[in-house]
Amino acid sequence: MAGALLPDRLSANREKIALPKGFVLGVQSYSFRDRSLEAAIKAMKKLGLTSCELWEGHVIPQEIFTKRGEALRKWRLEVSLDYFHAIRDQFNKAGIALQAYNGTIKDGTSDEEIDRTFEMTKALGTNVLTSSATVSVMKRIDPYARQHEVIVAMHNHDKVQRPNEFSTPQTFARGMEGLSEYIRINLDIGHFTAANCDPVDYMKKMHEKIVCIHVKDRKKDHGPRTPFGEGDTPIAEVLRLIRDNQWNIPANIELEYPGDPEVEMKRCIDYCRKVLEA
Any domain includes 243: yes
| CA 55/CA 116 separation, integer angstroms | 16
Neighbouring residues of 82: CB distance < 8 A, sequence distance ≥ 6: none
Task: Give me the pLDDT at residue 278, please.
Answer: 83
Task: Give me the pLDDT at residue 12, please.
Answer: 36
Task: Give me the pLDDT at residue 248, please.
Answer: 93
| CA 197/CA 152 separation, integer angstroms | 22
pTM of the model: 0.93
Any domain includes 1: no
Domain at 181, CATH number: 3.20.20.150
Task: Give me the pLDDT at residue 67, please.
Answer: 83
Domain that holds residue 230: 8-277
Per-residue pLDDT of the chain (278 residues; tens, 9 = 90+): 344 455 444 443 333 434 555 789 999 999 999 999 999 999 999 999 999 999 999 999 999 998 888 999 999 999 999 999 999 999 999 999 999 999 999 999 999 999 999 999 999 999 999 999 999 999 999 999 999 999 999 999 999 999 999 999 999 999 999 999 999 999 999 999 999 999 999 999 999 999 999 999 999 999 999 999 999 999 999 999 999 999 999 999 999 999 999 999 999 999 999 999 88
Task: Give me the pLDDT at residue 23, please.
Answer: 83
Task: Give me the pLDDT at residue 68, please.
Answer: 83
DSSP codes joined into one string, the chain: -TTTTS-HHHHHTHHHHEEGGGEEEEEEGGGGTTS-HHHHHHHHHHHT--EEEEEGGGTS-HHHHTT-HHHHHHHHHHS-HHHHHHHHHHHHHHT-EEEEEE----TTS-HHHHHHHHHHHHHTT-SEEEE--BTTTHHHHHHHHHHHT-EEEEEP-S-TT-TTB--SHHHHHHHHTT--TTEEEEEEHHHHHHTT--HHHHHHHHGGGEEEEEE-EE-TTT--EESTTSSS--HHHHHHHHHHHT----EEE---SSS-HHHHHHHHHHHHHHHHH-
Any domain includes 19: yes
Any domain includes 30: yes
Total domains in the chain come to: 1
Task: Give me the pLDDT at residue 163, please.
Answer: 94
Any domain includes 140: yes
Any domain includes 3: no
Look at residues 116, 164, 122, 160 and name the one whose alpha carbon lies nearest to residue 139.
164
Any domain includes 150: yes
Any domain includes 207: yes
